[in-house]
Amino acid sequence: MKQQFKRRPIALFCGALFAFGLDTSAFAQSSQSTVIVTGSRFEENLNEVPANVQVITRDEIANSTSSNIPDVLSQIGGLNVRSTNPGQLNLDATVDMGGYGVGANSTTLILVDGQRINSIDSTSISWESIPIDSIDRIEVLQGGASVQYGNGAVGGVINIITNGNTSKLNQASVSYGSYGTLVNNAILRDSFEDTTYQLTANTSNTQGWRQNSAANAYAFEAKITQKFSGIDKIYTDFFYGYTNAQNPGGVVGQVGEGNPQSAKFNNIGSNTTTNNTGVRFGGTKGLGESYIGELDASYTNRTVFYYNPFYDSDAALNVTPYPIVGASNSNLSGWQLNLTPRLKADLGPLGTGIVGYELNKAGQGGTNAFGSAATNILTQDYYISNPNGLPYNSQHASVLNQSFYAILKLPITKELSLDSGARHQTQQASTYDSNIYSPNGAVTADQTYSANAGDVALNFNYAGKQKVYVKWNQSYRFPNIDEFWGFDPNTYNRVFNGILRPQIAQTYEVGGNWMWSSVRVNGSIFSSSSQNEIMYDPSSGLNYNSQYNVNRRGVAMDTSSNITNRLSLAGGGKFQHSYYADGPYAGNAIPVAPNLLLNARASYSIDENWSVGGVVNYVSSQHYDASQIYYSSLALMPSYTAGDVYINYKTGNFDAKFTIKNVGNASYASYGGYTNVMAANGTFSNNYYYYPSDGRAFYITGKYNF
């Protein structure tokens, strides 16, 4: 494996940041008067929220090396972001906010303007459907928030806000760089009387650093906000996202072994195409002096097409003694409806209360089709055991979620308040499965489960710009629909493993926000315990509810400071330990959950035209994604340090930026595993694999405000 950053280059790089520094506008100082919405789903001051919340502003995003949302969350938010197809566009990134490892995509809730965009299966977030120029700010809440948001808000909540600003803005940018990467962004925003319209668009194309890793992404969003008297307003937001990405697959071996730029033999020529369309709408209505009503709703439709020519090729079907048989085409089609009305009441001396209802209804179906050559083999060699003789696999699942919740903020003194809340959610799930290997034909199942959330917190504003809080929280997540099925690791046949129970986590947390002059600090110490944790076992190929508890302990902190009127520094990190609390694996760490994350950022304004900046992320070693039976015998994924730097020139309405990404050319991977790996001759054997991140890349970006 290549050496990543040696100590001397790290010291020189950090010294350069301090010596040459960077632009004070790069790190906005979130004061205690900062208004956020993630804490209760209504607007409130940051000092009123008993939670660890970080606000990433539009200016911070603009004055960074980030070109996509996962980059923003990793480089500015300091969060743990990993990917199985990292690439220059970061299309399938997963954010782990609580040390949940492989299950992180289902325990970090992603919102756009307060509305969930997590799909009902385990596929990654459609980041590309949110043009980065449409973002006003991003609110990052660490810790459980199922009282406010229900299913999936276990590790944390990321709320991407595109509402808010009404000032005129006409801006376009073009970025071109390594591996044939071209990114275009544009935003058009203006207001006429009380009506604000905003159009944003993005196109992204890359040939990719790895073999078979080219990708294209296109996104468009149109939003109209209409204000009335007082706080009354309504909005409508139409969006469309499209991606076509080749799939290079993993590299066999431990991180650093093999050729990281080569695609796996059975992935060459494969690609995934996704279309994501929808509408979000909602509004706010003042109901007299003491009440505020709000309503949010959304409808999304998504189609996914997977294509892999290997499984209909001679290379797969002419292998002896047994051919490699697999589906060459897979289709998914699904929809999701969300509706969330809520009411906030001023209760006088009893503080404020919130009551709400949430409806989520969704369905998704898919087919796995075999190519003509593979179908002939299946038919001739009697592989098809389905009594109907169907030469394809078909499945469908639907869910209906309903929940009621209530929140009370009770003032005890002028500085001290008691915050509490509860939610009850019920999920009805139905499944259908028919595949060629099912001797008894189609299998159906129906199941209803429920889960409860609650929290109690004391929030103490002991000074004008400082607060501390103590909090207990219970949050939950229901299984994704694809977690109802698993795979036989030897035959790759799909296996129905049942509708799983919801996962529950209780957390104790102490934290706060502090402001001293130009220095901001926020952080928390937490301890949580999970029951019925939903897990995947690579050895058996099944998803299951763990009968053993999982503990998570840690401390998280983020700070920023305007050292001078030209130099700004920021940084933070998280130390966490996720491990089995009992059972035969007691003390074993959860795979793909690093213990230490560190982040440092800096920006320096040389003069009114020139500025420079950079960011460094460190991720400690972590366990490969593997069955616990191999825990003590496997190596660790190595730690890594990766950094980006930029220099920016601004004159009038024009900006030009030169960026070097992965400036140290670190060779690393954010995800890897150990399981039964197929070789080109059709045999299987246990081995390591990993998904390498891209090497050093250079970009030049031009931006103009019209």
Q: Confidence class of residue 380 from pLDDT cuts 50, 70 and 90?
A: confident
List Cβ neighbours of 625 (8 Å cut-off, separation of 6 or more): 101, 102, 538, 591, 592, 671, 672, 673, 674, 675
Q: Tell me the residue type at 115.
A: Q
The pLDDT tens digits for 684-705 are 899 999 999 999 999 999 999 9
Q: What's the pLDDT score for residue 33?
A: 57
The reported pLDDT for the residue numbered 409 is: 96
pLDDT at 659: 98
Percent of the chain with pLDDT over 90: 75
Q: With the CA atoms of 256, 261, 265 and 267 taken in that order, what torsion angle do they form, in degrees rounded to the nearest 10?
A: 110
Indicate the helix (H) or strand (E) that contains 111.
strand 108-112
pLDDT tier, 27 (very low <50, low <70, confident <90, very high otherwise): very low
Measured over the CA atoms of residue 583, residue 584, residue 589 and residue 592, the dihedral's sign is negative
pLDDT in tens, 313-336: 999 998 888 888 888 999 999 999
Helices (H), 246-351: 314-317
343 is a domain residue: yes
| pLDDT at residue 197, as a whole number | 95
* Residue 588 counted as domain residue: yes
Give the count of beta carbons closer than 10 Å to the beta carbon of residue 230: 10
Q: How confident is the model at residue 381 (pLDDT cuts 50, 70, 90)?
A: low
- Amino acid 32: pLDDT: 47
- Residue ranges of alpha helices (H) inside 7-79 are 7-20, 58-62, 69-75
> Is 565 a residue whose pLDDT tops 80?
yes
Q: How confident is the model at residue 8 (pLDDT cuts 50, 70, 90)?
A: very low
User: Is 496 a member of any domain?
Assistant: yes
| Residue 443's pLDDT band (cuts 50, 70, 90) | confident
What domain range includes position 696? 7-705
Measured CA distances, 22 to 16, 57, 328, 573, 603 (Å):
10, 17, 51, 21, 2
**What local confidence, expressed as pLDDT, does residue 314 receive?**
92
Question: Do the domain assignments include residue 2?
Answer: no
Res 54: pLDDT:
92
Q: Are 363 and 395 in contact (CB under 8 A)?
A: no
Rounded distance, CA 658 to CA 399, Å? Answer: 47
Q: Looking at the domain assignment, is residue 416 inside a domain?
A: yes
| CATH number of residue 424's parent domain | 2.40.170.20
Answer whether residue 15 shows pLDDT above 90. no
Let me know if residue 412 belongs to a domain. yes
Q: Token pair of 495, please?
A: 């296996």
The candidate with the shortest Cα–Cα distance to 269, out of 321, 221, 306, is 306
The total number of structural domains in the chain stands at 1
> What phi and psi, each to the nearest 5 degrees, are found at residue 165?
-75, 135
Give the residue among 402, 414, 509, 457 at the shortest CA–CA distance from 40: 457
Q: What confidence score (pLDDT) does residue 148 get? A: 96
- The amino acid that residue 71 corresponds to is D
Please check the confidence at residue 653 and state whether its pLDDT lies above 90: yes
- How does pLDDT run across 382-439, given as a tens digit for each residue? 677 777 777 888 999 999 999 999 999 999 999 999 999 999 999 999 999 888 877 7
pLDDT above 70 covers what percent of the chain? 94
What residues form DSSP beta bridges with 222? 199, 238
pLDDT of residue 540: 81
Q: Which residues lie below 8 Å from residue 246, measured CB to CB, with a gap of 6+?
A: 208, 212, 213, 214, 215, 270, 271
Decide if pLDDT at 34 tops 80: no
CB 476 within 8 A of CB 457: no
pLDDT in tens, 581-618: 999 999 999 999 999 999 999 999 999 999 999 999 99
Q: Considering the domain boundaries, does residue 211 fall inside one?
A: yes
Compute the average pLDDT of residues 549-562: 96
Closest CA to 506 of 550, 459, 555: 550
User: For residue range 330-373, what is the model confidence (pLDDT) as tens digits?
Assistant: 999 999 999 999 999 999 999 999 999 999 999 999 998 999 99
**Does a structural domain hold residue 431?**
yes
Burial-class residue 686 by CB neighbours within 10 Å (0-12, 13-18, 19+).
middle
